[in-house]
Amino acid sequence: MSTLLELDNVSSGYGDLTVVRDMSFAIEESSITVLLGPNGAGKTTLMSTIIGLIGAKSGTVRLGGTDLTGVPPYRRQSHGIGLVQENERIFKKLSVEQNLLYGAYGLKLKKSDSHERLVEAYDRFPILAEKRNQVAGYLSGGQQQMLAISQALISRPKLLMLDEPFSGLAPSIVNDVMETVRKIRDEEGRTLLVVEQAVDLALSLADSVLVMDVGRLVHTGRADEPNMRQIVEETYFGSQG
């Protein structure tokens, strides 16, 4: 299995404030990596840096060997990075189908290609096909998350990043979304980087785990490592003490 995403000594933040410090790690193709850490660890800032919403102060970001450091967000999408942001998921006043088509904005697709990608989205989440003409703001929380993921997948990204995708969802819906995330890896061969707070849920989903604390990477490893849960819990507890 080859490496898709590489960060080498990346630091980033806001103005004079450095939030992420000297981050170095690699993510393999067709895998699910979960990014864990307490509130304020810098997880969302790291995701924003990878997609280019926040510029790196130092270090390099590479996707498939291509250096994307300094490349603007819209061009990173064309290189194969998608992001579903927490609480900024969809356009609630637009219809389901309009939201999906927005995911293709800037790709300059032929009408037939756009239709093909809509079919993919509706096959992935049949409930969205049933509600394609409905205003997205009237969907349930789980359906809105399905729509947000589908919108990001319209561009067929190599790397899909999900920031707190299970936040606020009912347990039964969490299971459905988790199963879809696994299918995106297994059946579509995509690579996923997921920020999640719930430790047990995260470890059950992940192939690999990145643990952050106070802007730094404190541990990396396989999700099935015997001591992984203990390492994560100690990171959370230590930051709260």
| DSSP H helices in the chain | 43-51, 73-79, 96-102, 111-124, 126-130, 141-153, 171-186, 199-205, 228-240
Q: Which CATH superfamily is domain 1-80+159-170+190-241 in?
A: P-loop containing nucleotide triphosphate hydrolases (3.40.50.300)
Tokens for 54, please give them: 């926040």
User: What digits encode the pLDDT tens for the residues 21-36?
Assistant: 999 999 999 999 999 9
**Is it the case that residue 237 has pLDDT exceeding 90?**
no
Report the alpha-carbon distance of residue 182 to residue 178 in Å, rounded.
Answer: 6
Give how far Cα 34 sits from Cα of 71, 106, 163, 165, Å: 25, 29, 10, 11
Report the alpha-carbon distance of residue 42 to residue 148 in Å, rounded.
Answer: 23
CATH 3.40.50.300-classified regions of the chain: 1-80+159-170+190-241
Closest residue by Cα to residue 117 from 150, 149, 144: 150
Q: What are phi and psi of 175, to 5 degrees?
A: -60, -40
Give how far Cα 142 sits from Cα of 81, 168, 208, Å: 23, 9, 25
- pLDDT for position 17: 95
* CA-only gyration radius of the chain, Å: 18
pTM (global) more than 0.85 = yes
- Portion of the chain with pLDDT greater than 70, in percent: 96
User: What digits encode the pLDDT tens for the residues 59-102?
Assistant: 999 999 999 999 998 889 889 999 998 766 689 999 999 999 88
Quick one: angle between helices 171-186 and 141-153, nearest 10?
20
Laid out side by side, the sheet with 66-67 consists of 17-28, 3-14, 56-63, 66-67
Of the CA atoms within 13 Å of residue 114, those in its CB half-sphere come to: 15
Mean pLDDT, to the nearest integer, of 51-57?
A: 95
